[in-house]
Structure 1
Amino acid sequence: MTAADWDLVAAFHAQCSEQNLLRRWGRTRLTPRDLTRLLAQAQCWIGLDANERPLALVGVGPVSREPGVVDLGLQVADDRHRQGIGTALARQAARIAHTRGSHTLTAFTQASNAPMLRLLEHLGPTRVTRDGPYVEVRVALDAYTSDTPAPIRTDPT
């Protein structure tokens, strides 16, 4: 994704509830400037369905002062939850991060965000550190290689 993809990002966010936006971004509105800042620090992708409709955003960026550790950012459109999209994108992000030299993937989320915590457990062995109402989850990327098969999923749409 590049800053030129702002229209896709805006279309994606229009599909997301305020709760979903708050959970992922800490606010309900993002601007092109926010996207530019994110892209300066992370590699990002936008997932599209067969009709070129945006259905998810994923990003991976370095964690400061921790070489080989990257942070995962992930958001899936509200009406597309529990279809395996987030897991597939997170696995692909982990695979790419590992091939680029990362050994650990982290995510910082609300301790009550059960769907994200389940997704992270599916990526591999996790280590969870609680920080009040939040948790940091770390996933070792040892198992991710360039030949790790992508998950197979059929989508009726």
Structure 2
Amino acid sequence: MALWRIRATVDDRPGYLSVLTASLALRSVNILAVQVHTTEEGAVDDFLVDAPDALTEADVMAAVLKGRGRDAFVTRAEAQGLADQPTRALALAGRLVHEPDTLGEALVALLDATDVRWRPRSGAESPGFHGGRMTLADPAGGAYEVLRALPAFTPAEYARAQALVEVAGAVVRQQREQVTVLLADGAEVVLRPATTDDLAAVRELHDSCSTGTLRQRYLSASVPGDPRLRQLLEPAGGVTLLATTPAGALVAMANLITEGDLGEVAVLVEDDWQRRGLGTALLRRLHAHAERSGFAAVVAHTGAGNVAMLRTLRRLGAGSIERDGALVTVTVPAAGRQVGDETPATHG
């Protein structure tokens, strides 16, 4: 038996796919996988089949045409084709998380392309596909041109390819946001955005902190469970920064969580790394992120006895400090703004 890949368009009407599969069955062709792509021209059926060794390409093509398939494409397939396209796409996305510079190879593997080129994007050209040519927008600027002879690209393939480009772009952006900071005592730490993959390390960070440190961060003896920590690692509309040693040990976490046009900030620093300037470095980066994102201000809720946190917030430019018993709320406006400012209306 031999593996073949078949692609053909049939009328998008009830029963037409069964006519095609019946025609293949008459030739003892076993269908291993099928995907249906809806297009304006009809339903594009993509098959991976196992056929008798005696069957030639012409025989397979004849069976497709007899089954009312048109614009047919038939070629021999390799064993790796046994993985369906969504599975292949997920596997390639996982690879890009660790190796974003292999995007070109990933697109070739996903689309069976003959060539992938990056080039500056022309203002007159829009992302899309036509026949065997696909243009993918690069979030960092420019575009990827993907070419193959046959078969023509489908909407589903375009969507998967664009998703891979965006995954690679997101990883590159995250890597660019990683910085190494030299603390006042000469120690180096790496600051980077968090992802949900950091959950285990964040849990270990919490386990290594004293009860007093955790109480300062969460204002209670209650420590969040894993579901809440996952939300903190990738907050909607905000950001979480992690601080690690050059060896990779996690020693601090800082969160910026969206509250309307305000961002609530909070910091957790392992006991041995406190009073070394690490919390200040994290808060400064969160404040800068809030300014770039258009927040009116950042707000921090802390205990009245957390002198180090209050001192740092004053250095950042605290606009107001409100005390309610043992709880202190500090508001730090974004640069050039006052809390409550509204964007002035413009008239043409």
TM-score normalised by the shorter chain: which range applies?
A: 0.7 to 0.9
Match for 2:229: what amino acid? L
**What amino acid maps onto 1:34 in structure 2?**
R
**C-alpha distance in 1 between matches for 2:281 and 2:302:** 19
Aligned CA-pair RMSD: 1.8
2:75 corresponding residue in structure 1:
none
Structure 1: how far apart are the matches of 2:280 and 2:333? 16
- Superposed CA deviations along residues 135-155 of structure 1, whole A, max 9, x for unmatched, are 1000112169xxxxxxxxxxx
Relative to 1, partners in 2 of residues 1:125 and 1:40: Cα closer, same or farther, differing over 3 Å? closer
* Residue of structure 2 equivalent to 1:27: 221
Query: Is the 1:47–1:56 Cα contact (8 Å) retained in structure 2?
Result: yes
Structure 1 unaligned spans of 5+: 145-157
1:55 aligns with 251
Deviations 1:83-105 (A, max 9, x none): 11000010001001110101211
Question: Residue 206 of structure 2 aligns to which amino acid in structure 1?
Answer: H
Q: 1:130 aligns with which of 305, 320, 323?
A: 323
Residue 280 of structure 2 aligns to a residue whose secondary structure is helix
* Corresponding residue for residue 196 of structure 2: 3
Aligned with 1:83 (options 264, 271, 276)? 276
**Is 2:241 the counterpart of 1:45?**
yes
Paired residue for 2:294, among 78, 85, 101? 101
Q: TM-score, normalised by structure 2?
A: 0.38
Larger Rg: 2
Which protein has greater RCO, CA pairs closer than 8 Å, 6+ apart?
A: 1
Sequence identity of aligned pairs in percent? Answer: 28
Write out per-residue CA displacement over residues 5-35 of structure 1, whole angstroms, 9 at most, x where no aligned residue: 1111022112210111122122354321121
**Is the Cα contact below 8 Å between 1:44 and 1:60 reproduced in 2?**
yes
Distance (whole Å) between structure 2 residues aligned to residue 143 and residue 86 of structure 1: 24
Structure 1 segments, 4+ long, off by >6 Å, are: none
TM-aligned CA distance change 1:40 to 1:90, over 3 Å: closer
What code does the residue aligned with 1:22 have?
Answer: R
The Cα shift of 1:76 comes to: 0.7
Query: Retained in 2: the 8 A contact 1:120–1:126?
Result: no
- What is the one-letter code of the residue matched to 2:325? G
* Unpaired runs of at least 5, structure 2: 1-193, 338-348
Tell me if structure 1 keeps the 8 A contact 2:301–2:327: yes
Structure 1 CA distance, aligned partners of 2:251 and 2:290? 22
Which residue is 1:111 aligned to? 304
Q: How many residues align?
A: 141
Distance in structure 2 (CA, Å) of the matches to 1:27 and 1:37 = 20
**Aligned-residue offset at 1:40:** 4.1
Q: Distance in 1 between matches of 2:195 and 2:330?
A: 27
